């Protein structure tokens, strides 16, 4: 449960914060603490957010972001623009249709790979989106057809009490599995897509004055998902899931006082790659990374590069750190991995160099370099050991 919680935070912290912030704005307005005129100005904020998301998505060649923002922008127009040109029956149908259009399109996006914006597949997506909304508006121009479709989309299975009875039941049943699939993907953008659905449902159910808040939250969490994804690409190693070298640099800058740094290297890693292929090498790295993520003793592991890892122990002395690392070394040495397409198992060992910050040293990179030198000594001494000087 704890690992699932932190995994959720690592891919969805920014979208969750944005969702909470917009929710706080709604409660603030209800409590009468927001400045006069803010809600009226909010009517145009979702379009501004959509334009920002489209520009960023295009700049970073994130076609799925552009598509998602266009879906939300069109659906928002159904609430504030469609009443000007369509009948009440058509508007009622379009508003309810958003509860199907948004989850279905976001689900489709979650199974699509990034193909840019202006390439063939990106343009095909945009044409598919335009076709959907053209058809919806065409249906909405005919009140009799709009009423029939509304009755179909508003199918109810049971009668409930209070607010629960206002929730479109069929749309809810469609959205629940969509949310579960999006969350199961375990990626930042898909997590953001999942967070848009409560906001879109809220826009359909709340008072008219709060509709902009719902779509502002929906577009904001998608934009937040882009930011979170960019952060993960910069600071998290994609293969192992550990913090990467850029994150290590930031962590070293924050070190002060007493600390230790360990450098760890997988023994005979080149042989794994040469004998069993790079796929097995990746399995080895992920296996070692899993053990490092639970190193204990206050240690924080980073992938330094290749088969080499760094572990920082802030506020710890060498004796306690050595014991922690020895337990780690033994645990890795006692573990086995099963080769793909085979029942044969092979063992893994690691060598570790450990250095503690001298009182006169102010540069953490110098301590890391010392640990790296001791790692070389551990390998020269026969591997599968710790060298601490």
All domains of the chain in start order, with CATH: 2-234 (no CATH), 245-387 (3.30.70.270)
* Residues whose CB falls within 8 Å of the CB of residue 333, separated by 6 or more in sequence, listed in order: 347, 348, 349, 350, 384
Average pLDDT over residues 6-22: 64
**Predicted confidence (pLDDT) at residue 2 exceeds the cutoff of 50:** no
Encode pLDDT of 37-94 as tens digits: 665 567 788 888 889 888 888 887 788 888 999 999 999 999 989 999 999 999 999 9
Query: What's the rounded mean pLDDT across residues 195-224?
Result: 86
Does the pLDDT value for residue 1 go beyond 60?
A: no
pLDDT in tens, 237-289: 888 889 899 999 999 999 888 999 999 999 988 887 777 777 888 888 999 99
pLDDT beyond 50 at 4: no
Contact (Cβ atoms closer than 8 angstroms) between residue 69 and residue 53: yes
| pLDDT for the residue 314 | 92
| Averaged pLDDT of the chain | 85
329 neighbors 384 (Cβ within 8 angstroms) = yes
CA 350, chain centre distance (Å): 31
Report how far residue 15's alpha carbon sits from residue 386's, in angstroms, rounded to the nearest whole number. Answer: 43
Which of the given ranges, 216-220, 254-258, 370-374, 385-389, has the highest pLDDT on average?
Answer: 370-374
CA 130 to chain CA centroid, nearest Å = 28
157 pLDDT tier (thresholds 50, 70, 90): confident
Q: Which of 98-102, 169-173, 174-178, 336-340 has the lowest mean pLDDT?
A: 336-340
Specify the pLDDT at position 353.
Answer: 94
Residues 282-334: tens digit of each pLDDT: 888 999 999 999 888 889 999 998 899 999 999 988 999 999 999 999 999 99
Angstrom distance (rounded) from CA 296 to CA 242: 15
The two tokens of residue 280 are 């097995």
Catalytic residue numbers, as ranges: 307
pLDDT score recorded for residue 387: 92
Among the residue ranges 154-158, 159-163, 168-172, 256-260, the one predicted with the least confidence is 159-163
């Amino acid at each position: 449960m704890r690992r699932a919680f932190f995994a959720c935070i690592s891919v969805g912290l920014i979208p969750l914060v944005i969702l909470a912030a917009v929710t706080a704005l709604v409660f603030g307005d209800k409590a009468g603490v927001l400045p006069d005129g803010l809600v009226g100005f909010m009517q145009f904020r979702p379009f501004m957010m959509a334009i920002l998301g489209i520009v960023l998505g295009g700049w970073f060649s994130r076609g799925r972001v552009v598509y998602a923002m266009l879906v939300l922008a069109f659906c928002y127009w159904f609430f504030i623009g469609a009443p000007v040109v369509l009948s009440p029956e058509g508007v009622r149908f379009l508003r309810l249709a958003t509860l199907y259009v948004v989850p279905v399109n976001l689900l489709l996006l979650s199974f699509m790979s990034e193909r840019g914006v202006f390439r063939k597949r990106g343009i095909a997506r945009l044409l598919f989106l335009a076709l959907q909304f053209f058809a919806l508006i065409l249906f909405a121009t005919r009140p009799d057809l709009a009423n029939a479709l509304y009755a179909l989309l508003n199918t109810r299975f049971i009668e409930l009490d209070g607010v629960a009875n206002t929730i479109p039941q069929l749309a809810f049943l469609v959205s629940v599995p969509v949310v579960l699939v999006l969350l199961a993907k375990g990626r930042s953008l898909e997590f953001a897509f999942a967070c848009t659905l409560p906001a879109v449902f809220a826009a359909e159910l709340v008072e008219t004055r709060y509709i902009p808040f719902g779509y502002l939250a929906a577009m904001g969490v998608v934009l937040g998902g882009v930011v979170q994804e960019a952060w993960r690409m910069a600071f998290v190693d994609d293969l192992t899931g550990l913090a990467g070298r850029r994150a290590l640099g930031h962590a070293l800058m924050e070190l002060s006082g007493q600390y230790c740094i360990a450098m760890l290297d997988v023994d005979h890693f080149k042989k794994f790659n040469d004998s069993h292929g790079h796929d097995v090498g990746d399995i080895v790295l992920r296996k070692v990374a899993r053990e490092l993520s639970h190193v204990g003793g206050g240690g924080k592991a980073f992938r330094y590069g290749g088969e080499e890892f760094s572990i920082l122990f802030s506020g710890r002395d060498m004796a306690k750190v050595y014991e922690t690392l020895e337990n780690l070394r033994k645990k890795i040495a006692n573990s086995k991995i099963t080769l793909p397409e085979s029942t044969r198992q092979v063992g893994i060992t690691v060598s570790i160099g450990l250095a503690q910050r001298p009182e006169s040293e102010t540069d953490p990179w110098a301590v890391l370099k010392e640990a790296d030198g001791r790692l070389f000594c551990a390998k020269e001494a026969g591997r599968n050991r710790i060298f601490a000087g």
